[in-house]
Amino acid sequence: MKKAERLRGMRRKGEDTRAQIGDVALALFTEHGYDATSMREIAEQLGITKAALYYHFTSKEAIILSLFEEHLNALDELLAWAAAQPHSPQLSSKLLGGWLALAVGRGLPVMRFAAVNQTAVRAALHTDRGTIQQRMEKATQIIAGPDAPLQERLRVRMALLSVHITVMASHETEADDADILAAATHAAALLTGDLFPAPQLPLTERCGPAGTRPEATGCQPCS
């Protein structure tokens, strides 16, 4: 039992270290530019050796991939939950709210980085995991419904993009996560207000990671 607990502790420590590396690297990439930041600088900022850094990540591209994999995994979980529910206006509201809420926390700096480093992101994400655009299309189909006219589908896609647009609009402003999410949610509600209720955001502070399905944390969605 003690050995198993030790192994679990080591795994948690390794996961925490990878998360810390991702946060520090993302901050350096955003502040100094992706191309201008080296693995050595990331290691120095963390106070670890290059060898220790390379133990967790073999390159800057691997760090980017891990950051986006986390975001893609959260989107996939949200979409899988929504796809298993009967279509309704309430489901559309919850799915759109969950999608927008994924910007909170690490998702927001990741999107800020992606907005100004699209070439690096495309190179790092050249995998078989599929694209954000494919997930957006799936979300659009669930939210709008299978027989929605083109104009409604376009408005839903615009609502899904509202958080990305708000991130770009907030560049060089004092807007924090809450400001960005509030503005994006308001914009999404204006776009879809006559189609279904305003986006319902998860109870993120009490219920765990933003955007995860309510049942994953044992909490009920906002009413």
Crossing angle (nearest 10°) for helices 177-192 and 89-101: 150
pLDDT at 46: 96
Is residue 97 within 8 Å of residue 212, measured between CB atoms? Answer: no
CATH number of 1-58: 1.10.10.60
Judging by beta carbons within 10 Å of its beta carbon (0-12, 13-18, 19+), is residue 27 exposed, middle or buried? middle
Start-to-end CA distance of the chain, whole Å, equals 43
Largest CA distance in the chain: 60
Residues near 8 by beta carbon (within 8 Å), at least 6 away in sequence: none
How far apart are the C-alpha atoms of 32 and 124, rounded to whole Å? 19
Angle between helices 60-83 and 89-101 (to 10 degrees): 170
Mean pLDDT by 10 residues, the chain (223 residues): 47 74 92 92 96 96 88 92 96 96 77 78 68 91 95 97 90 88 95 96 50 38 41
According to the model, what pLDDT value does residue 14 have?
Answer: 58
pTM of the prediction?
Answer: 0.75
Burial class for 1, CB neighbours closer than 10 Å (0-12, 13-18, 19+): exposed
